[in-house]
């Protein structure tokens, strides 16, 4: 699962870099695009690096994030082919009401298991501290995307499937980093990579927050949701339906 997740993130990073290069002359520089590519690259390499250690709670934490990641990539691929790239979930069906509760319960059980194992085996602060920052930053991004969905739901009459998947990706990614920080043994390469990921995560959080507050103009302000046509894309960050 760690290998699959890592490849998903690196594929999205490559797509994002391709878009930045393709549009650099006509649209200029995109803080969001660069920050998103850096975040995906560091996360993808993190998962590939820890593939041999992904057992027990870490394997469970990574597995929890695979379904929303695959769903989001599938919708993104559809959008790149000029098709819809999103679906509207009308109202709030029962399965959608139950899914967050179920995922939260599973995440809580994984966290409890990871903390128990960490107390028994010993916690390594050098590994935990950077991953704790990543957990906080990516959880905040997940909150921004979820808040956007909650704000839009009355006007839209439902939920964006792509937006919900993206929110779940960030929540589960943050959780996987926390579990990794609790359980990972000291490793020089992993330590360097995780510490490089921290400023990348702050840069990404800064870019997302500015877009969420509508305090920045960026051609990527409507990224990754729906078709690439300007009028057909809704921003997963800004609460207003733009």
pLDDT at 129: 95
Q: What is the H or E stretch that residue 160 is in?
A: strand 158-160
Q: How far is residue 64's CA from residue 50's CA, in Å, rounded to a whole number? A: 16
54 touches 62 (CB < 8 A) = yes
Q: How confident is the model at residue 55 (pLDDT cuts 50, 70, 90)?
A: low
For the chain, counts of helices (H) and of strands (E): 8, 2
Q: How far is residue 218's CA from residue 126's CA, in Å, rounded to a whole number? A: 36
- Report pTM: 0.84
158-173 pLDDT, tens digit each: 999 988 998 999 999 9
Q: Is the predicted pLDDT of residue 201 greater than 60, yes or no? A: yes
Backbone angles phi, psi at 224, to 5 degrees: 70, 0
35 touches 95 (CB < 8 A) = no
pLDDT at 52: 59
Backbone angles phi, psi at 136, to 5 degrees: -65, -50
Provide the 10 A C-beta neighbour count for residue 81. Answer: 10
129 touches 205 (CB < 8 A) = no
């Amino acid at each position: 699962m760690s290998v699959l997740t890592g490849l998903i993130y690196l594929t999205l990073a490559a797509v994002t870099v391709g878009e930045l290069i393709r549009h650099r002359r006509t649209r200029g520089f995109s803080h969001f695009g660069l920050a998103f590519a850096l975040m995906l690259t560091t996360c993808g390499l993190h998962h590939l690096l820890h593939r041999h250690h992904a057992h027990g709670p870490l394997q469970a934490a990574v597995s929890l994030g695979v379904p929303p990641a695959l769903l989001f990539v599938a919708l993104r691929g559809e959008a790149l082919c000029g098709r819809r790239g999103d679906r509207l979930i009308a109202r709030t069906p029962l399965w959608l009401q139950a899914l967050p509760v179920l995922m939260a319960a599973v995440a809580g059980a994984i966290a409890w298991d990871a903390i128990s194992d960490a107390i028994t085996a010993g916690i390594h602060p050098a590994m935990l501290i950077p991953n704790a920052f990543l957990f906080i930053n990516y959880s905040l991004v997940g909150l921004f995307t979820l808040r956007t969905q909650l704000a839009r739901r009355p006007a839209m009459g439902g939920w964006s499937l792509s937006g919900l998947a993206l929110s779940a990706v960030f929540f589960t990614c943050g959780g996987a980093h926390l579990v990794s920080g609790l359980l990972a043994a000291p490793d020089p390469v992993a330590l360097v990579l995780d510490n490089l990921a921290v400023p990348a995560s702050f840069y990404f959080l800064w870019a997302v927050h500015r877009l969420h507050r509508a305090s920045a103009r960026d051609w990527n302000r409507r990224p990754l949701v729906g078709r690439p046509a300007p009028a057909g894309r809704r921003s997963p960050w800004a609460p207003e339906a733009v």
